[in-house]
Structure 1
Amino acid sequence: MSTPLFEPPQRPRIWALSISRLRDLFFDIAGEYVERADLRIVSHGFEDAVREIESAGAGRPDVVIAGGSNGAYLKTRVSVPVVRISPTGFDVMHALARARREGARVALVTHGETPDEVRRFIAAYALDVTFASYQSAQDAESVVLDLSDRGIDVVAGPGLVTDLAVSAGMGTVFLYSRASVRTGFDTALEVAQATRRETVRRQRLDTLLQHLRDGVVALDAQGRVEVMNQRLASVLGIDPAKAVGRALLDLAPDLAGSLPDADGDSFCTVRGASYVVHRGPLASSSAAAGTVLTFQESRALERLDRTLRSRQRVQQFSARYRLDDIVGASASIERVRTLVTRYAKSDATVLILGESGTGKEMVAQSMHQLSARRDFAFVAINCGAFPEALLESELFGYEEGAFTGARKGGKAGLIEVAHRGTLFLDEIGEMPLSLQSRLLRVLQEREVVRLGSTEPVRVDIRVVAATHRTLTEGVAAGSFRADLYYRLNILSIALPPLRERPNDLLPLAAELLRQAAAREPRLAARVPDAATAAHVLGGLGASLRRYAWPGNVRELQNVIERIAVELADAEAAPVADTLADTKTTTRTNSTALPKDATIVTRDMLRSVAPEILEPVVRATPASLTLRERSRHVEADEIRAAIAAHDGDRDAVCAALGISKTTLWRKLNAGR
């Protein structure tokens, strides 16, 4: 069975109440409204009618119709709208005309004062009519008896009066007509529809109010609660339904003195939690407007602020490199790619080991780009590039007035800036001991305390650290905390130096040349892609592999930049088919290359980077101690093993029976 897209609106519930002959008119015209209203005719009046309405529960009427004193009585005693049926001017004239035909002495009896227009009408036509009015059922009985004593023949009035007049032996004319009853029913329908529209509007507003994350209360001009959402009621520990109509400060005395006196903000504490309270005007057509108070939890505002700042700073602190930017096909580089992809799925701290220039930050950025945090900031800081005091303020931030020259309003540290993103701590081995303990607390508790503050700020960060040092030696020497080392070294990636992956040299140099050419308009057309760059550099393959590259990729990039400048200034020459080292050339057909491509010769390389073509000078055995000789011998043997296993360090460790940490330490010791 299909479900309708929306429920059709229910017919308004209308009750018509009467204990007199007005009830007969209700029955006469009820059939005219059966399609437009759920109409019920109730034979109750006054107190009995009140009990009937209030006990109806969910079936209570939307509107009540009643006449005369019954309507006036109900109007002040029930919580639903009451429409009173009033006789029209035509009803009065028609009733008096009939009364004059039935008796000589006529009385007009109305509930409340007789309208002035009726008196003026009768006076204008010099009619002999006695006027009388009543306020309640008891008054009506007294009025009728008095009229009987005065010799009145016919009484024109509402149902209650005419019933009493019949009992007193007088003639009667019922004052109401079908037209006046129809007018009452039509008015009741309009009131019911307007009431329902207002109810729906209030329900929607209440639903909206209840879904707000902040506490909200609306007060009248006397400070009494008009509406309160469940959020604030829970904070104050009260029932929101029972709060309506009561003074807020009676419900929550602890708020006295904390609420803003005028439109604006203030701070208050409720049950140990801090809130920012905003006061604003509650619009009203009357002169006495009310007040709206919103309660926002301080911690929620801080979290929102950090999230917004994280979003805003993604462009400023963003990762540029991706996994595809790591060039190389050696086994050791493939191992690095595998670990980056694997570790990106985790939030555990990573320690990246590698010599200077091996691409530690590129690996960290690639990991960030693959992680679930990629939409947030990647914040990098070199721990060895700042003095201790400056590094502390940069990392942890500070409050206003924390020290001389502190920025007004304070400053968020880079740890806070990295909220929901990645914090990359380069050269972590250079961090002073005093800051290592503070960083350890950040890693353990995931919260940071600014300089000059005592309140911790929660942060959600992934930490990636990098170093070219052997941290275990720092731990042994007392310059690096052991507990911090074990907190950092949960996951680790060891990057191979460039000299241990010789087959990656030419592809890497070609990619660096392509990037340099893209930045140089004079060279862009001559070196449009990596294939062309590889052909241009092809004759240098053997020379590049023979060099040790102590500066690793960074040094190679510097050399390629020099070559790019030389190529841009050099006059174009046809591509030569005879290269110094044909085995290292690309498979690209030379005829497909630009006609004005220029081949890099050994002479050009000698002019821009002579150190690459010079023989490697090693220390003579006589200048080394026995311990140093032993270290160099071990290092040479390890390098030979790495070359034999094509840079696969896992295979080298297995062949030599040593761990990766030992391999790393012995290689560094033998430099």
Structure 2
Amino acid sequence: MLMEKNLPNANKIVETVLENAFAWLIIVNEKGQIVYMNEDYCSFIGRPKEDCLGKHVTEVIENTRMHIVVKTGKEEIAQLQYIKGNYMIANRIPIWSNGEVIGAFGTVMYRDTKEWSVMNSQVREHLAALTTYLKKHQEAGAKYTLHDIISVSDKMEELKERVKSVAASDSSVLICGESGTGKELFAHSIHQLSDRNEGPFIKVNCGAIPEHLLESELFGYEEGAFTGARKGGKKGKFLCANGGTIFLDEIAEMPMHMQVKLLRVLQEREVEPIGAVNSIPINVRIVAATNRSLEVMMKENRFRKDLYYRLNVIPIHIPPLRQRKEDIPVLVEHFLGKLSLRTGKRMHGICEEVIKAFQYYDWNGNVRELEHVIESAIHLAKKEKIYLDDIPEYIKQEAVVNEEDKGLKEIIEELEMRIIDRTLKRCNGDKRKAAKLLKISKSSMYEKISKYGMHN
């Protein structure tokens, strides 16, 4: 009876509680539109309440996941959220009614800005310490493994197996491949799989260091070796890599006079810092990489043959993306997840037309170009899925040209070949099982495999 008498004041009581019970509070409906947002939250983001109500939550709050909680129906408790240059701890709870999610409400654990500021400073302090630690660790160690090389194509899987078989040796490795194919990932993986994986992994970009500084960077110098030399001298990259691996990226950019000195290091297994009287023995494995043809450069007398044969003991050639287009879908999925996390913009897939356009494009920038295109598309996407309008025009045009150049028979055969290839992979190469899934006879399966030159 008491509740019924005071019912006219109920709305006022509830609103007062909502305004004061939490520092920040937000409620969204089943479409992710804001139906309530208290004054403290509005003040924090710097927008009036009337400007927020009715809008989709993603238009008002950066890095929000309220709309995702509405879709998944899964609560998210004590999640770190970065907003307006600061961190906050957020709770997001779905609102259920008759077995359906009709909305969600979100709160912040800290009640006032002073308490929140203290928490934020502590988070920043811990993150800064962690970042410093990781940076120091990564400077002298490899960051990537073969698991970071995303692929399903036979060419890349065979290459990974080759890396596994040669990584344990101490022989020099020369990695060749176009820009953006992932040469550095392979270099890191070789070190990780070797017996030197507990030792340092030092990367040197031979094309990024000025020619007059390259010798001192690689071999170091003694105190007083030249004007401006650091007091106490400096250890070169080779000495820093002692007991581990040195990765000489863009080796083709190394000038001829430095090639001679590098050759001596490889032959004698010792370095002589600038200004030093004696040489210093070293135990370093060499992994070099280039996107240029060293064979052509040798013919043009721009790269030493003796150095080439010293480096090219174990050759590894990474095929360009246009030669392994079956890797594109898995790479797209990988980058979609990785970049969505980095940008804070959640994406729920990519339409089939975009994947098809990607398959037609030649990707001269290889995997790196694909990653950049996906990142751009995520930023440009108006919805939570990437459509043709979100990708560059030159990729769409390439798809149109390719389609127009093909006849119906060719298009059908290409589709049939892709389906068979995909099914065989699902069945781990079992042709009988694949034929059964495709509802064709075993003999038809063998005929088609032979017709398309597929060797599974």
Q: Same fold (TM over 0.5)?
A: yes
The match for 2:225 among 402, 405, 411 is 402
Give, in whole Å, the separation in 2 of the partners of 1:600 and 1:559.
Answer: 11
Q: Would you say 1:440 and 2:254 are equivalent positions?
A: no
| Residue 537 of structure 1, CA deviation | 4.9
What is the match of residue 551 of structure 1? 365
Equivalent residues of 2:356, 2:399 under 8 A apart: no
**TM-score normalised by length of structure 1:** 0.39
1:129-148, aligned counterparts within 5 Å? Answer: none
1:454 alignment partner, SS class: coil
What is the match of residue 126 of structure 2? none
Residues 490-536 of structure 1, C-alpha deviations (whole Å, 9 max, x = no match): 00111000111111112112211211112123x2xx34xxxx5xx33
What is the match of residue 470 of structure 1? 293
Amino acid at match of 2:377: I
Q: Would you say 1:494 and 2:280 are equivalent positions?
A: no
What is the match of residue 485 of structure 1? 308
2:226 alignment partner, SS class: coil
Amino acid at match of 1:396: F
Residues 376-430 of structure 1, C-alpha deviations (whole Å, 9 max, x = no match): 1111111111221111111111111112211111100111101111100011111
Equivalent residues of 1:350, 1:488 under 8 A apart: yes
The match for 1:611 among 386, 394, 402 is 394
1:386 alignment partner, SS class: coil
User: Which one scores higher on RCO, CA 8 angstroms, separation ≥ 6?
Assistant: 2
**TM-score normalised by length of structure 2:** 0.57
| Residue 611 of structure 1, CA deviation | 2.2
2:394 alignment partner, SS class: helix
| Residue 563 of structure 1, CA deviation | 1.6
What is the match of residue 387 of structure 2? 601
Equivalent residues of 1:506, 1:538 under 8 A apart: no
Give, in whole Å, the separation in 1 of the partners of 2:354 and 2:272.
Answer: 54
Give, in whole Å, the separation in 1 of the partners of 2:286 and 2:351.
Answer: 39
Equivalent residues of 2:139, 2:202 under 8 A apart: no
Give, in whole Å, the separation in 2 of the partners of 1:497 and 1:559.
Answer: 17
1:615 alignment partner, SS class: helix
1:413-428, aligned counterparts within 5 Å? Answer: 413-428=236-251
1:196-595, aligned counterparts within 5 Å? Answer: 314-521=137-344, 523=345, 526-527=346-347, 532=348, 535-567=349-381, 570=382, 572=383
Amino acid at match of 1:613: K
Amino acid at match of 2:181: T
Give, in whole Å, the separation in 2 of the partners of 1:483 and 1:314.
Answer: 35
2:350 alignment partner, SS class: helix
Equivalent residues of 2:357, 2:399 under 8 A apart: no
Identity of aligned residues (%): 46
What is the match of residue 582 of structure 1? none
Distance 1:545 1:486, change over 3 A: same
> Which stretches in structure 2 are left out of the alignment for 5+ residues?
1-134, 402-416, 422-456
| Residue 616 of structure 1, CA deviation | 8.8
Give, in whole Å, the separation in 2 of the partners of 1:419 and 1:504.
Answer: 37
Amino acid at match of 1:452: G
Equivalent residues of 1:313, 1:377 under 8 A apart: no
Distance 1:446 1:401, change over 3 A: same
1:20-39, aligned counterparts within 5 Å? Answer: none
Equivalent residues of 1:419, 1:459 under 8 A apart: yes
Residues 598-617 of structure 1, C-alpha deviations (whole Å, 9 max, x = no match): 22111111xxx222123399
Amino acid at match of 1:424: F
Distance 1:491 1:432, change over 3 A: same
Residues 173-222 of structure 1, C-alpha deviations (whole Å, 9 max, x = no match): xxxxxxxxxxxxxxxxxxxxxxxxxxxxxxxxxxxxxxxxxxxxxxxxxx
Amino acid at match of 1:602: L
2:364 alignment partner, SS class: coil
What is the match of residue 183 of structure 1? none
| Residue 454 of structure 1, CA deviation | 2.3
Equivalent residues of 2:175, 2:315 under 8 A apart: yes
1:614 alignment partner, SS class: helix
1:466 alignment partner, SS class: strand
> Which stretches in structure 1 are left out of the alignment for 5+ residues?
1-311, 573-597, 619-642, 647-671
Distance 1:376 1:314, change over 3 A: farther
Equivalent residues of 1:350, 1:492 under 8 A apart: yes
Give, in whole Å, the separation in 1 of the partners of 2:136 and 2:343.
Answer: 30
Amino acid at match of 1:331: D
Distance 1:601 1:493, change over 3 A: same
Amino acid at match of 1:563: A
Distance 1:445 1:540, change over 3 A: same
| Residue 459 of structure 1, CA deviation | 1.1
What is the match of residue 143 of structure 1? none
| Residue 539 of structure 1, CA deviation | 3.5
Give, in whole Å, the separation in 2 of the partners of 1:455 and 1:617.
Answer: 66
Moved more, 433-442 or 537-546: 537-546
Amino acid at match of 1:547: Y
| Count of aligned pairs between the two proteins | 271
Give, in whole Å, the separation in 2 of the partners of 1:490 and 1:325.
Answer: 25
Equivalent residues of 2:350, 2:387 under 8 A apart: no
